Structure 1
Amino acid sequence: MEKTCLECNEKLIGRADKKFCNDYCRNAFNNNLNKDSKNLIRNINNRLRKNYRILEALNPENKTKTTKTRLLDRGFDFEHFTSTYTTKKGTTYYFLYDLGYLPLENDYYMLVRREQ
């Protein structure tokens, strides 16, 4: 049985379990396989990444306070976050992976980093 490259369909020579003729074909195949197939997914991931970078830049000390205006000026989108955490007192933190924020009074926000 003659095997062919999964990317370019060239005849494979060598090991019996070989799937690709070279590194270029292997990379091209995996890049196509792993790319975000939907614009919606790609756009949300980009928004989460941007929000994370903003929180990271504004919170170098792992706990700080900032304003809503400062977040919005940098392009922060409050609709996209990865999880929430509600304390026993009922306070809700919004997280982007390990970085989070807590809405305070007068459009202030407490920025925090979740401990590992």
Structure 2
Amino acid sequence: MERSCLDCGMPLKGRADKKFCDDACRNNYNNNLKIGDSLVLKRINSILKKNRSILAKLNPDAKAKTTRKKLLSAGFNFDYHTHTYQTQNGNTYIFCYEYGFLSLADEEFLLVKREEK
């Protein structure tokens, strides 16, 4: 049974467990496998960066209030965030990197910036 390279299809010679004819084919094959993952990660990172920049723009003084309408009109995507933080009194802040928000009554949000120590 003749074996062939997984990338280019050329016949293989040598070891029985050889999968590629050379390093270029091996690199090309593995790079093509990762392209799908890379596109998903790029899209998600793009959304997170956009959310962060919107929060930073609407919160120049590290603490401000805004509305859901303003966030949505700026292009904020509420489905994507980096982490959450729950306070001792039960409030849950949602963050995109160091910028976050707390949901208040009547579709309002308190915007905050977390200072790293």
Taking structure 1 as the reference length, the TM-score comes to 0.68
* Matched residue, 1:6: none
Cα offsets for 1:9-34 (capped at 9, x unmatched): xxxxxxxxxxxxxxxxxxxxxxx8xx
* Matched residue, 2:24: none
Contact kept? 1:66, 1:110, Cα under 8 Å: yes
Runs of 5+ consecutive residues of structure 2 not aligned to the other structure: 1-30
* Matched residue, 1:115: 115
Contact kept? 1:85, 1:94, Cα under 8 Å: yes
Matched ranges for 1:63-102 at <5 A? 63-102=63-102
Matched ranges for 1:45-60 at <5 A? 45-60=45-60
CA distance in 1, matches of 2:86, 2:110: 15
- SS of structure 1 residue aligned to 2:106: helix
Whichever of the two has the greater Rg, that structure is 2
Runs of 5+ consecutive residues of structure 1 not aligned to the other structure: 1-31
* Matched residue, 2:8: none
Task: Give the Å deviation of 1:37.
Answer: 4.7
Taking structure 2 as the reference length, the TM-score comes to 0.67
* Matched residue, 2:41: 41
Change (3 A) 1:72 1:37: same
Task: Give the Å deviation of 1:38.
Answer: 2.3
Give the letter for the 2:45 counterpart: N
The aligned length equals: 83
Is 1:62 the counterpart of 2:62 in the alignment? Answer: yes
Contact kept? 1:36, 1:42, Cα under 8 Å: no
Cα offsets for 1:44-76 (capped at 9, x unmatched): 000001001100100000000000000000000
CA distance in 2, matches of 1:75, 1:103: 18
- SS of structure 1 residue aligned to 2:81: coil
The percentage of counterpart residues that share the same residue type is 43
